[in-house]
Chain A
Amino acid sequence: MLRKAAQWLNLLLSNAYLPGFWLGRIYKGKLKSVCVPGLNCYSCPGAVASCPLGSLQASFGGGGFYPGFYVVGLLLAFGALFGRFVCGFLCPFGLMQELLYKMPIPRPCKRTAGQVRHWSRYIKYAVLIIFVIGMPALLAGDSGLASPAFCKYICPAGTLTAGLPLLAANSSLRAAAGALFVWKFAVAVAIVLGCLLILRFFCKYLCPLGAIYALFNRVALYRLRLTPENCVHCGDCIRACPMGVDPSHDPDSGECIRCGDCAKACKYNALHTGFACGEREAKKTAARC
């Protein structure tokens, strides 16, 4: 309940410029100099802040592999504080995927329990290296403008929350749409179909922002804690996990989005989520007991 409220609140706060949707134009205020932690296209008519991935790609504009300190610093701060908590609680596209999976359609398999080590989970790291870092850095032109390859060829959030609303409301943009839009629309449709069949399909296999935050999951301040002496290895947590993680084996997995579903499902009080500063107190209390 708290998670859903946080997801909806963040979606509304990140896209609070509602007139943009019927005027067919985007917000141009100073708030756009700040990046939100989740995937939220800055060309969405409602967006009041910037997308960290779009800004990261644009920051390669100087040429070479030198991203801007500001965007990297923000990503480092989000990662060190929250890790993939951002994916579970703050990402608007994560919420959209969860809503898509609620649609009552026949599915070949309900959950991907135990699939966390499957090779396909590493595709998102390849997307990060090739499309977010490599292509923008290598293909930055003499003008100093980097081509945001991930936004250009893959990002479904850009197509669904920026491309479709802007093209619907703005006839001049509609007239300019061509082969690239057809490609992006096809990719977005494929990802939506994936999300209908597999819970958080994009997060699991393709999201480069999730890949960045996954690198911080083991050290982030927000943690999933396991009390091994309480765990009876019943498997309830594995069945509850939307990402196919086994929290009783690896609570710090880079795939864990810190949604807390495993802690809720645990009848033996073996799993807890919270900020790591509470860990020391918990250990002291346990030692005293």
Chain B
Amino acid sequence: MLRAVLLVTAFFFVFIGWKRGEVASVLVKAIFVCLECIGIG
């Protein structure tokens, strides 16, 4: 039961995030070189 609740919540969160345009935010962050990640900053 707990597993089902967790999975439904997870997919609900993904859906809400997608509706809020967060998928695009992740994409924008990821398509530029993360200078902090490589040690420049």
Contacts and interface: CB of A to CB of B under 8 A. Distances in A.
Interface of A: 25-30, 32-33, 35, 41-43, 49-50, 54-55, 58-59, 61, 68-74, 76-77, 79-81, 147-148, 151-152, 155, 158-159, 162-163, 166-167, 173, 176-178, 180-185, 216, 219-221, 276
B13 A73 contact: yes
B21 to A, nearest CB: 9
**Consensus secondary structure, chain B interface:** helix
A55 B22 CA distance: 10
Nearest to B13: A73
Nearest to B5: A80
Contacts of B27: 30, 32-33, 50
B37 A151 contact: yes
Given A73-B13, A276-B3, 17 more contacts: A26-B33, A29-B31, A41-B37, A50-B29, A54-B30, A54-B34, A59-B25, A68-B17, A70-B14, A70-B18, A70-B22, A77-B10, A80-B7, A80-B10, A162-B37, A176-B40, A219-B6
Contacts of A220: 3
Interface of B: 2-3, 6-7, 9-18, 20, 22-27, 29-31, 33-41
A88 B26 CA distance: 26
* 6 interchain residue pairs of minimum CB distance: A70-B17, A73-B13, A181-B39, A73-B14, A69-B17, A76-B10
Contacts of B17: 68-73
A26 to B, nearest CB: 6
A70 B33 contact: no
